[in-house]
A and B are shown apart, each in its own frame.
Chain A
Amino acid sequence: MTMKNDYADTCIRGVRKAEWIVDGIISSLVFEPDFRTCDQRDDRGYETSINWEDNDQAVSYTLRQPIAKFGALRLPRKAIDLVNEKPQSTNSLKYERKISQDNRDNPYHGNIVYLHDVPRPKIKQIAATLALEITDIFPPK
């Protein structure tokens, strides 16, 4: 794994809802943020929880968590950067490392954060853009 600015090249998103997968096909819903999270953030952004793939154990660790009850996905960090580089969605996203309130022992945890001023239709479009860049799907353990 390579690291740049403290972020791994890839992140893992847990599939915590069965509804996000139909017949093995993954909906863009998997990258939609939890809109309620803006209430807990100073910047009022919306979080999509991820684990940074800091080492070879990150995937198996994620798959053991409740957030990955239905599997997990691998997304290159570059996919997030590409969204921010597009003229239509410049700086709509940021990413971070952040201790999970649900599991404070998770060393990998972070978020993709949709900025608060990004309109909801655009958030859904960005979620679909990210979903196009999924490189791997891991079945649940």
Chain B
Amino acid sequence: MKIQSKFQDNLLSEGNTEPSYPIISLKDIEHPERDYGFPTHAGIISSLVTVTTSSATTDLVSMVIGPSPLIAGTGGFVLQQRPIDLLARSKQVKSVLQLAKNSIIGFIDKQLLLPIANDFLNKFYYALMKHDINVSNLKPLRAFEGEESILFEWIYPHWRIGFSFEQNQEDSSWFLASDSVTGNVQAYGDLISIDLLWILDWLKRRPC
């Protein structure tokens, strides 16, 4: 099955116009939590996630990863940690995202955007849990209230990553900006076809 990601057209990372990483589209992640709390440990394990992989030479392949090996005993995908590790990691990931989650509740003029932004945080939580991203030294994601938007932003001296949710959802987008110290990476795209794994991979390898 050929899946065209609009992000691939928009990817502007210098010297890397063809992402070779698997692509996870947010719209492909099933069962996001709908409440305003983060998913529970059990929720993570039992969740189903659709992952799309790609390479430069093969068609994009879509595959559904079933319940975690922790429960189903079937092979295939992450969550190899023992439950106690998973709980500790869940706590770490929550600590990175909780500030943003708490902040948006105060954006009283953005009630229509809150469920969307909250959904995103839950999906991001899943994604961070499922990939080996060291979040222990990751600063909290910040939330800012724009004119007609909510912006989540990681702010470091030499790089910024942002996710902007607009009243007009088609305008919602993400960006990565890094300076000369961190490679002058300039990337952006729309949130509908976000290449989350590309961003996670950059986070994993972030220079500082």
In the complex, what residues of B have CB within 8 A of residue A27's CB? 142, 144, 151, 153, 155
Q: Chain B residues near A3: list those with CB within 8 A.
A: none
Distance between Cα atoms of A100 and B11 in the complex (Å): 37
Q: Name B's interface SS.
A: strand
Q: Which of A26, A125, A132 contacts B179 (CB 8 A)?
A: A132
With A29-B144, A125-B187 as known contacts, state yes or no: A132 contacts B160, CB within 8 Å: yes
A28 at the interface (CB under 8 A from B): yes
1/0 per residue B95-124: CB within 8 Å of A? 000000001000000000000000000000
**Interface residues of chain A: helix, strand, loop or mixed (majority):** helix
A125 with B177: CB separation less than 8 A: yes
**CB of A20 closer than 8 Å to a CB of B:** yes
Interface size on B, residues (CB 8 A): 33
CB-CB under 8 A for A25 and B175, given A122-B188, A125-B188, A132-B158: no
Most buried by B among A25, A29, A131: A29
CB distance from B127 to the nearest CB of A (A): 20
A65 at the interface (CB under 8 A from B): no
Binds B, one of A42-50, A54-62, A86-94, A101-109: A86-94
* Residue ID in chain B nearest A120 by CB atoms: B171
CB distance from A12 to the nearest CB of B (A): 20
Distance, CA A122 to CA B10, complexed state (A):
9
Closest A residue to B13 using CB positions: A88
What per-residue 1/0 map shows which CB atoms of A111-133 lie under 8 Å from chain B?
00000000011101110110111
A133 to B177, CA, bound (A): 11
Residue of A nearest to B184 (CB): A86
Which residues of A are interface residues toward B (Cβ below 8 A)?
19-20, 22, 25-29, 32, 86-89, 120-122, 124-126, 128-129, 131-133
Q: List 6 A-B contacts (CB under 8 A).
A: A20-B144, A32-B146, A88-B12, A120-B171, A124-B175, A131-B160
Nearest 8 A/B pairs, CB to CB: A121-B173, A125-B175, A128-B177, A125-B188, A27-B144, A88-B12, A129-B177, A128-B160
